A = this chain, B = another copy of it.
Amino acid sequence: MSDKKISPAVIHRLPRYYRYLSELLDEGVERISSGELSERMHVTASQIRQDLNNFGGFGQQGYGYQVASLKEEIGRILGIDRGHKVIIVGAGNLGQALANYPGFEKRGYVITGIFDSDREKCGKTAGELTVRHTDELESFLKNTPADIAALTLPRVAARDVAESLCRNGVRGFWNFTSAELIRSEVLQKAGAVVENVHLAESLMRLSYALTECDM
């Protein structure tokens, strides 16, 4: 299982490779050359060869890459084969969207619970789950440990909730709020990891690119 150290830049590109390889597999493609993959992904063939060389043995001159085994290997490196357990905190529209998102299961994630502090929302259906009250989080996690929490709750509550989850064993935070969780000492001490999805910043980048076009 030992891997030589892969550079962060390559790691950052791996999810995209994984997505393309999944698509190819869905289309029944078993082998692909770096040239074909290059055309599909709009990346140079030499970059692809360099990136995928990190995993050794999957590409052969004049033969190409074996889609299934390369996908599996990248999935292993990304930790996708580990059946990560995910809870969602915040059952508003965004939380509901995640609960209904088929991409989770497809990639081996299991959503085990969805929670909200609003009693009006509790008892309602979200995907295949029933919304529970956040008061139940602690006891829930004792019985059903989770690796990842998707935070789709209001920003003001995010940090407290994240720290409480962290004390109850959650180590990965998929943060949709603009709270800077990375600053939390509780999370830092526990070695928790945070992946932010800053929608507002993404929209502003789009807005800037549009403005540039007009000039």
Footprint of B on A, CB under 8 Å?
11-12, 14-16, 18-19, 42, 77-80, 82, 84, 92-94, 96-97, 100-101, 103-104, 107, 109, 147-148, 171-174, 178, 180, 182-183, 191, 193, 195, 197-211, 213
Contacts and interface: CB of A to CB of B under 8 A. Distances in A.
Given A103-B199, A197-B197, A210 B12 contact: no
A15 B201 contact: yes
Contact of A97 (B79, B80, B93): B93
A-B residue pairs, 8 tightest by C-beta: A79-B211, A93-B97, A15-B201, A195-B206, A15-B204, A193-B209, A94-B97, A93-B96
Nearest to A126: B93
A173 B178 CA distance: 22
At the interface, is chain A mostly helix, strand, loop or mixed? helix
Given A174-B202, A193-B206, 19 more contacts: A14-B204, A15-B201, A16-B198, A18-B204, A77-B211, A78-B208, A79-B208, A80-B204, A93-B100, A94-B97, A96-B97, A103-B200, A104-B203, A109-B203, A147-B210, A174-B203, A193-B213, A195-B203, A197-B197
State how many copies of this chain the complex holds.
2
A214 B148 CA distance: 14
Contacts of A183: 42
18 contacts: A15-B200, A15-B201, A15-B204, A16-B198, A42-B183, A78-B208, A80-B207, A92-B97, A93-B100, A103-B199, A104-B203, A107-B204, A174-B203, A174-B206, A191-B213, A195-B202, A195-B209, A197-B199
A37 to B, nearest CB: 13
Contacts of A178: 19
Nearest to A3: B215
Contacts of A18: 204
Contacts of A93: 93-94, 96-97, 100
